Structure 1
Amino acid sequence: MELQRQDSTSFVVRSKTLKLIFLGTITFFLLSAQADAPDRSFVMPMADFAKPIVLTSKQVDRQSFHSNSFVPSRLVIPSIDVDASIEAVGKDDVGRMDTPADVNRVGWYQYGAKAGATGNVVLSGHLDDLNGPAIFSNLGQLPIGEVVTLQRKNQVATYEVVSVIQYRLEQVPLASIFAATQAKRIQLITCAGPYDEKLGYRDRIVVTAHLIETK
């Protein structure tokens, strides 16, 4: 009987010791959190536009989970008579999205998403040149609901236009156009507005269309 009482007393002592260690640990973490906390309440910083997140080709491949995604080779927009070949473009000398040398071709930003994939499929084209209108001369006239297709051989990704907006150059929402996103959409870009010989075109037209079908 005496042996049983000793075992019972030992168990109670161990239980109390464990509880004290547990409470001490919790108190330590709470005090640490209070010590690290700022003196004033947190305020979310605000900014107009973040810098674009440029993804590498490998990152794009990892993010292109859609089984029907592909590198586009042709852009077709019936309502503005666009049926143009697409070439992959990167960045120019100052880090901006480059444009194709041929004014009748469309540039696909190779660091963005592929056709049909999750993300922004960014395409740019010229408004005009010294000889007259170029491939995107009528981009600003696209009606909402118009169908836009990206093609490669027997693969087709179909998009529906949801917005056509003209921005001043300094107000173009670069983050929305180039950053990673869970949406499946294309962004078509061209110049607009008055032209200055030194500064170029004042504005940009940005057309956004959402994916509705791939095959």
Structure 2
Amino acid sequence: MERQQLDSTSFVVRSKTLKLIFLGTITFLVWGAQAEAPDKPFAMPTAEFAEPQVLTSKQVDRQTFHSNSFVPARLVIPSIDVDTSIEAVGKDEAGRMATPSDVNHVGWYQYGAKAGATGNVVLSGHLDDLNGPAIFANLDQLPIGELVTLQRKDQVATYEVVSVKQYRLDKVPLASIFAATQSKRIQLITCAGPYDENLGYRDRIVVTANLIET
């Protein structure tokens, strides 16, 4: 009986000792980590987005052949008298979407989706220039339900307008416009609001239209 009590006592002592050693080790590690950089704030690691791939003309033709999508060449919006050529554009020096070189043309963001494809087909156009109204001067007047057509030779993709919104420049939902999505839609963008000689236009008009699939 006495041997069993001794064995039990020894087990309790060993258990307490192991717990103290374990807690002491954890405390030391935490204190040590703080002591190495007591004033250094915690920061989550960050990563930049990968640069989008630019397809060669052969790759684009091959991709178009194997799907219903295509590189848009013309934009038609009857209600605001838009029937114009589309220029492929990339990024400007500041990393933003570039604008078309001709104020009467529309720019298609070549790193985004193609016409008819899943994703955001992003198109931008000028509101005006020194000579007067430009191609998207009346973009804010688009009615809900209006049809917007992208064309290339005999290929056509038709979209229905579901949203026309005006945002302050710093409130434009860039993620919704440019990010990957399972929707098949286009985003039409132009300037709006009061103009400042140093800052440019204060606002942006963003029109969203969904693909009509047949």
Q: Using structure 1 for the length normalisation, give the TM-score.
A: 0.71
Deviation at 1:170, TM superposition (A): 0.1
- What corresponds to 1:119 in structure 2? 119
Q: Distance in 1 between matches of 2:64 and 2:177?
A: 17
Kindly indicate whether the alpha-carbon contact (under 8 Å) linking 2:64 and 2:70 is maintained by their aligned counterparts in 1: no
Q: Which moved more, 1:62-71 or 1:147-156?
A: 62-71
Letter in 2 for 1:138: N
* 1:55, distance to aligned residue in structure 2 (A): 3.3
Report how far residue 65 of structure 1 moved.
Answer: 10
Structure 2 equivalent of residue 186 of structure 1: 186
Structure 1 residue matching 2:161: 3-state secondary structure: strand
Residue 73 of structure 2: aligned partner: 73
Q: What letter matches 2:52 in structure 1?
A: L
The residue number in structure 2 matching 1:87 is: 87
Tell which has more relative contact order, 1 or 2 (C-alpha 8 A, sep 6+).
Answer: 1
Asked if structure 2 preserves the Cα contact closer than 8 Å seen for 1:53 and 1:180, the reply is no
Could you tell me which runs of 5 or more consecutive residues in structure 2 were left unpaired when the two chains were aligned. Answer: 1-47
Q: 2:211 is matched with which residue? A: 211
1:106 is matched with: 106
Question: For the residues of structure 1 that align with 2:63 and 2:212, how far apart are their CA atoms?
Answer: 19
Aligned residues: CA RMSD: 2.4
The match for 1:197 is: 197
Q: 2: distance between equivalents of 1:152 and 1:200?
A: 33
Cα deviation for residue 137 of structure 1 reads 0.1
What is the alpha-carbon distance in structure 1 between the residues aligned to residue 64 and residue 164 of structure 2?
26
Where does structure 1 lack aligned partners over 5 or more consecutive residues? 1-50
Identical aligned residues as a percent = 84
**Relative to 1, partners in 2 of residues 1:65 and 1:181: Cα closer, same or farther, differing over 3 Å?**
farther
Contact 1:188 1:206 in 2 (8 A): yes
Shift of the alpha carbon at 1:53? 7.8
Equivalent residue letter for 2:182: Q
How many residues are matched?
164
| Partner Cα distance (1:165, 1:105) in 2 | 22
Q: SS at 1:175's partner residue?
A: helix
Cα deviation code 1:105-126 (max 9, x no counterpart): 0000000000000000000000
- In 2, Cα distance between the equivalents of 1:210 and 1:62? 25
Aligned residue identity for 1:194? P
- The Cα offsets for residues 74-103 of structure 1, whole Å up to 9 and x where unpaired, read as 000000000010010000000000001110
Judging changes above 3 Å, is the alpha-carbon distance between structure 1 residues 175 and 72 closer, same or farther for their aligned structure 2 residues?
A: same
CA drift of 1:64 comes to: 8.2
Query: Aligned partners of 1:63 and 1:182: how far apart in 2?
Result: 18
Q: Which position in structure 1 is the counterpart of 2:172?
A: 172
Q: What is the distance in 2 between the residues matched to 1:212 and 1:71?
A: 17
Give me the whole-angstrom Cα distance separating, in 2, the residues matched to 1:94 and 1:84.
27
CA contact (8 A) 1:150 1:158 kept: yes
Match for residue 31 of structure 1? none
Q: Does the CA-based 8 Å contact 1:113-1:120 persist in structure 2? A: yes
Equivalent residue number for residue 57 of structure 1 = 54
Distance 1:210 1:65, change over 3 A: farther
TM superposition shift of 1:199: 0.2
Distance 1:85 1:53, change over 3 A: farther
Runs (4+) off by over 4 Å: 51-54, 60-66
User: Secondary structure of 2:145's match?
Assistant: coil
Aligned residue in 1 for 2:150: 150
What SS does structure 2 have at the residue aligned with 1:96? Answer: coil
